[in-house]
Amino acid sequence: MPSRISIVPRDSSRIEQNRSRMKARVYVTLKPSVLDPQGKAIHHAVEGIGYHGITDVRQGKYFEVAVDGSLSPDEARAEVERIARDVLSNPVIEDYRVELDSSTEA
Strand partners, 66: 23
**Rounded-to-integer distance, Cα 34 and Cα 92, Å:** 10
**Domains of the chain (ranges, CATH numbers):** 21-101 (3.30.1280.10)
pLDDT band per the 50, 70, 90 thresholds, residue 21: confident
pLDDT band per the 50, 70, 90 thresholds, residue 103: low
What's the pLDDT tens digit per position in 53-82?
999 999 999 999 999 889 999 999 999 999
**Rounded-to-integer distance, Cα 79 and Cα 89, Å:** 14
Q: Are 64 and 23 in contact (CB under 8 A)?
A: yes
The CA-atom distances, in angstroms, between 77 and each of 1, 28, 48, 83 are 56, 16, 41, 10
The answer to whether the Cα torsion of 85, 87, 89, 93 is positive or negative is positive
pTM, two decimal places: 0.73
**Rounded-to-integer distance, Cα 88 and Cα 96, Å:** 9
